[in-house]
């Protein structure tokens, strides 16, 4: 079977539509359809079937798409091994980041890459309406993602997940709030206050779900805001409490303070998410090394601050 046609089938499995595959591979939709029909003739069994106005993969198509993924990994692994014999990592690596991960990790990583001019990191920053970072992996070599645990659909899609760091959550309160007399807070302490929440599905929102489960009633969420700086401003104005990440909350000079939580898990994992074949590239592996090192440095620096 033609390897390039197999790759188109894999793209269809990941992207869902012929139109999306055509746009990503710089082909026309008719050219993609023609190549898939040729692949189907080579396979001798139907690989797609109609679904409404579009198509979906058959069982055989899904199995062959998974084979295509394994072939892509093997090819990248072979090329990576050969590159190691010939040269140091070179080229451009594309990376998608959400705001707070970029704030913590990118200054150190990009600074380190200044000393490696043959390797370029091209960054796109974005925050998703829904935190489904897996949808970005066809278009970026590395996707920075936050989650509580590893979502099952990341594994189901055959993606590689590289843990970079764990960041605790704290409760943010306005200056002068009576709960600031306590050094740590429990679910019962905070359950009856109004909250500035996050969009549904984000890690902060899932923590509020856990708070509700712990106390037996849903927290009162008065606003849902995506941007943490806006959240900090609303907390400072006394409009509600919020759950915020410890390392990137700018509590100094903003009329808010934070307290850690006990009684329910309060943290998020920040990971690099990528297609398994791209994880074999020397250039991508080098950027992952720098991201891991920077994640360890950031976490260690905050542990040191916390012991003072």
pLDDT 10s digits, 14-50: 888 888 988 888 888 888 888 888 888 888 888 888 8
**Which position has the higher pLDDT, 242 or 158?**
242
Instruction: Please answer whether residues 187 and 263 qualify as being in contact, where contact means their C-beta atoms are separated by less than 8 angstroms.
Output: yes
Mean pLDDT calculated for residue range 241-256: 81
Weakest mean pLDDT among 59-63, 126-130, 168-172, 237-241? 126-130
Instruction: Please answer whether residues 154 and 134 qualify as being in contact, where contact means their C-beta atoms are separated by less than 8 angstroms.
Output: yes
pLDDT at residue 233 tops 50: yes
Task: Give the pLDDT confidence score for residue 232 in this predicted structure.
Answer: 92
CA 291 – CA 164 distance, rounded (Å): 7
CA distances, 304 to each of 297, 299, 301, 307 (Å): 11, 9, 5, 5
Mean pLDDT calculated for residue range 224-238: 91
For the chain, what is the mean pLDDT? Answer: 86
Mean pLDDT calculated for residue range 73-82: 71
pLDDT at residue 176 tops 50: yes
pLDDT at residue 120 tops 70: yes
In which residue are the tokens 């990376």 written?
Answer: 95
Determine what percent of the chain is predicted with pLDDT higher than 90.
44
Beta-sheet strands, E only, within the chain:
48-51, 54-57, 91-97, 119-125, 142-147, 159-174, 194-197, 220-224, 242-245, 256-260, 267-275
Task: Give the pLDDT confidence score for residue 304 in this predicted structure.
Answer: 57
Q: How confident is the model at residue 87 (pLDDT cuts 50, 70, 90)?
A: low
**Which position has the higher pLDDT, 91 or 77?**
91
Single pTM value for the model: 0.70
pLDDT at residue 307 tops 50: no
Q: How confident is the model at residue 66 (pLDDT cuts 50, 70, 90)?
A: confident
Query: Which residues neighbour 3 within 8 Å (Cβ) at sequence distance 6 or greater?
Result: 71, 75
């Amino acid at each position: 079977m033609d390897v390039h046609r197999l790759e188109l089938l894999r793209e269809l499995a990941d992207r869902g539509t012929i139109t999306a595959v055509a746009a990503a591979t710089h082909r026309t939709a008719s050219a993609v359809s023609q190549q898939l029909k040729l692949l189907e003739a080579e396979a001798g069994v139907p690989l797609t079937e109609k679904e409404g106005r579009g198509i979906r993969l058959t069982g055989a198509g899904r199995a062959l798409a998974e084979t295509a993924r394994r072939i892509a990994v093997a090819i990248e692994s072979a090329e990576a091994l050969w590159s190691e014999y010939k040269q140091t990592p070179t080229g451009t690596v594309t990376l998608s980041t959400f705001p707070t991960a970029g704030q913590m990790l990118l200054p150190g990583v990009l600074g380190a890459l200044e000393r490696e001019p043959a390797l370029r990191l091209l960054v796109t920053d974005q925050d998703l309406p829904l935190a489904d970072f897996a949808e970005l992996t066809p278009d970026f070599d590395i996707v920075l993602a936050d989650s509580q645990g590893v979502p099952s659909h990341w594994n189901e899609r055959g993606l590689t997940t590289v843990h970079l760091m764990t960041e605790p959550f704290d409760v943010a309160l306005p200056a002068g709030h009576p709960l600031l007399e306590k050094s740590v807070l429990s679910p019962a302490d905070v359950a009856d206050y109004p909250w500035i929440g996050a969009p549904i599905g984000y890690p902060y929102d899932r923590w509020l779900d856990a708070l509700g489960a712990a106390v037996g009633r849903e927290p009162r969420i008065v606003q849902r805001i995506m941007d943490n700086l806006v959240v900090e401003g609303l907390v400072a104005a006394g409009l509600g409490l919020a759950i915020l990440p410890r390392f990137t909350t700018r509590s100094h000079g903003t009329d808010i303070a934070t307290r850690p939580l006990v009684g329910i898990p309060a943290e998020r994992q920040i990971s690099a998410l990528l297609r398994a074949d791209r994880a074999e590239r020397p250039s991508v592996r080098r950027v992952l090394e720098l991201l891991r090192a920077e994640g360890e440095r950031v976490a260690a620096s905050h542990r040191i601050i916390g012991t003072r």
